[in-house]
Structure 1
Amino acid sequence: MKRRIASLSAIIIYLTVSFQSVFAFQTNEGINIDKGNINKGIVGVKYGNGDNIKSKLIIEKDDAKYIYDIKADERVNSFPLQLVNGEYKVSLFKNIEGNRYKKVLMDSIIIKLEDNKEVFLNSIQIIEWNDSSEAVKKAKELTEGTKNNEEKVQAIYKFIINNFNYDYEKLNKLKYDYLPNIDKTLEEGKGICYDFSSLFAAMLRSLGIPAKLVKGYTQNAKGYHVWNEVYIEDLNEFIIIDTTYDLQMKKKAREVSMIKDNKLYDKIYEY
């Protein structure tokens, strides 16, 4: 993908920080922090005060920092706490003007998960799914009669690389805060790497299979790219699967292999 997509995660922002940070579940800015599912490795954020001003959510742990765009639409968005156990800092910054932001909330969260793979089973902002999703229903249909998780992974992988097309026009029209919609991708039968990776992860997660959405670079694509890492029980490890690359190669009648060489992929972020 072109570097334009890098703005979805690698955003440099200049922040004007207020001196009064808010340590609360709910603030007069219309922000609500939901810690009810931190035992699953996610935190919920609801932001809605009617001003429709763009905002940034920052989740930090140690030296790692994840930046998310968040809309003041009064919906609860869930975000992963994927940087293993320990203390996280969650901050929300409201746009003042241009690239200037003001901190309107800061909170801390401590998680202690027995198995960090649980984080990669959740519905989150960029991999949003529920039992009523058409994509989830399709996942169950495709995997009916399979004997194990590896067969489930293969069934869904084959479905995506054999039935979807890459949408080159969409790539040039993306907004900075674009988020995948798995049911829309399923219905349209086309998308970009962000869409396919979100769809693949959601379908697998709905079946209880840990799946990551990963952003970074690879020799198999130009510019910023998105792919998946999927946990395989028999191997006791996450393997790299790139449905976008493989569906494009299939269109060119080239042979593909589901499992990719990790030496060809440079991970920047994982969700």
Structure 2
Amino acid sequence: MKLLKKTMFIMLITMIFASSSFCFGADGIFKSAKSEIDASNVSEGYVRVKYLNPTTKKLKVIIEKGMGKYTYDLNGTGSYDTYPLQMGDGKYKIRVFENISGSKYAVKQTVTVDVNLKNKNSPFLVSSQLVNFTRESAVAKKAEELTKDCTTDFDKLDVIYDYIITNIKYDSEKALTVKSGYLPKVDDILSSNKGICFDYASLMASMLRSQGIPAKLVTGYSSNLSAYHAWNEVYTDETGWIVLNEMYFDGNQWKLMDSTVASTAKQSNSQRLMEYTNKLIDGKYYTKQYEY
């Protein structure tokens, strides 16, 4: 009996350590047998995660704080993915999962970190999995070109927004064929001048963030569009956060922070669509679910 209890205890300890993490030094990097979580930049609003060895298995990362929960895919190439810590200051639990079979996943790593953001808008200023750009990206260079004569963040917002709704066309074919787990490649969207709502929102957030302007990629439901949808919320010192059901005035006309709908209206030059766009100011048409 004692031997059985001892064996069970050893098995329990082994299971705990199999899914726990070890922190090497004081650099905030946690490593398990299967994955690695780099929490060295949590004050900047993000965490990086990678699976140590390439795999064809499906991988997930779940980040939780209190009742908030975000679920992401993790690449199986052995390279880092970056995830925002967008739920404010506090204690976050980060877990890495590996698919066993069907819809069953096993926990491979669990880390708990305390987050104290240097800037409350930090998560919406950095590059992350869904808003993925670098300083050398074509989108960053284009944003720099567009805003070179701007004197305020609001001016920058206006020219970037106007560029997107004037030049990016909605890709109806892509909307019908896009698969679960799709991630926008913003430079490809910029070069092709077309995309779906997810692409519009990622492109706009990337261009604005590259200029130091906090921007959220928001997902949720639009009752009038009868679909899951993506749009933006943007922060400027002049306005505070501009959210979807609060139109803003650029000095000439009122605009709505939904570049997908606005681009269709502008490019079709349809008065009916313009009127429809204006009606969307009523917040009941949109239900926000997540923000990235």
Aligned to 2:247: none
Whether 1:183 aligns to 2:149 is: no
Task: Give the letter aligned to residue 291 of structure 2.
Answer: E
Structure 2: runs of 5 or more not aligned: 1-14, 23-29, 245-256
1:261 and 1:40 mapped to 2: Cα distance?
Answer: 34
Aligned to 1:249: 265
Whether 1:47 aligns to 2:63 is: no
Moved over 6 A (4+): none
Aligned to 2:101: 97
Aligned to 1:64: 68
Aligned to 1:267: 288
Whether 1:149 aligns to 2:136 is: no
Aligned to 1:22: 20
2:217 and 2:282 mapped to 1: Cα distance?
Answer: 17
2:219 and 2:67 mapped to 1: Cα distance?
Answer: 18
Structure 1 residues 130-139 or 47-56, which shifts more?
Answer: 47-56
Structure 1 residues 62-71 or 235-244, which shifts more?
Answer: 235-244
Task: Give the letter aligned to residue 242 of structure 1.
Answer: D
Give the superposition deviation at 1:32: 1.2
- The superposition leaves residues 52-110 of structure 1 with CA deviations (integer Å, 9 ceiling, x where unpaired) of 21111100010111000111112211101110100000011100011111111110111
Per the normalisation by structure 2, the TM-score is 0.82
2:105 and 2:223 mapped to 1: Cα distance?
Answer: 36
Aligned to 1:14: none
Task: Give the letter aligned to residue 269 of structure 1.
Answer: Y
Aligned length, in residue pairs: 252
Give the superposition deviation at 1:249: 1.3
- The superposition leaves residues 163-195 of structure 1 with CA deviations (integer Å, 9 ceiling, x where unpaired) of 011111111222222100000000111010001
Give the superposition deviation at 1:250: 1.6
Structure (1 or 2) with the larger CA radius of gyration: 2
Match of 1:82 among 69, 82, 86: 86
> SS of 1:204's equivalent?
helix
Task: Give the letter aligned to residue 116 of structure 2.
Answer: K
Q: Structure 1's 85 and 179: CA in aligned 2 closer, same or farther, altered over 3 A?
A: same
2:51 and 2:281 mapped to 1: Cα distance?
Answer: 39
Match of 1:33 among 37, 40, 55: 37
1:233 and 1:265 mapped to 2: Cα distance?
Answer: 25
> SS of 1:130's equivalent?
coil
Give the superposition deviation at 1:220: 4.5
Give the superposition deviation at 1:238: 3.3
> SS of 1:224's equivalent?
strand
Structure with larger RCO (C-alpha < 8 A, sep 6+): 1
2:213 and 2:284 mapped to 1: Cα distance?
Answer: 24
Superposition RMSD in Å: 1.6
Per the normalisation by structure 1, the TM-score is 0.88
Match of 1:237 among 232, 241, 248: 241
Give the superposition deviation at 1:221: 2.0
> SS of 2:96's equivalent?
strand
Aligned to 1:174: 178
> SS of 2:143's equivalent?
helix
> SS of 1:116's equivalent?
coil
Aligned to 1:4: none
2:86 and 2:215 mapped to 1: Cα distance?
Answer: 12
Give the superposition deviation at 1:265: 2.2
- The superposition leaves residues 111-141 of structure 1 with CA deviations (integer Å, 9 ceiling, x where unpaired) of 1124311110010001011111001100000
Task: Give the letter aligned to residue 190 of structure 2.
Answer: L
Task: Give the letter aligned to residue 268 of structure 1.
Answer: Q
1:261 and 1:203 mapped to 2: Cα distance?
Answer: 27
Task: Give the letter aligned to residue 121 of structure 2.
Answer: K
Q: Structure 1's 28 and 21: CA in aligned 2 closer, same or farther, altered over 3 A?
A: closer
1:211 and 1:185 mapped to 2: Cα distance?
Answer: 18
Aligned to 2:253: none
Give the superposition deviation at 1:263: 4.4
Contact (CA 8 Å) 2:134, 2:140: kept in 1 or not?
yes
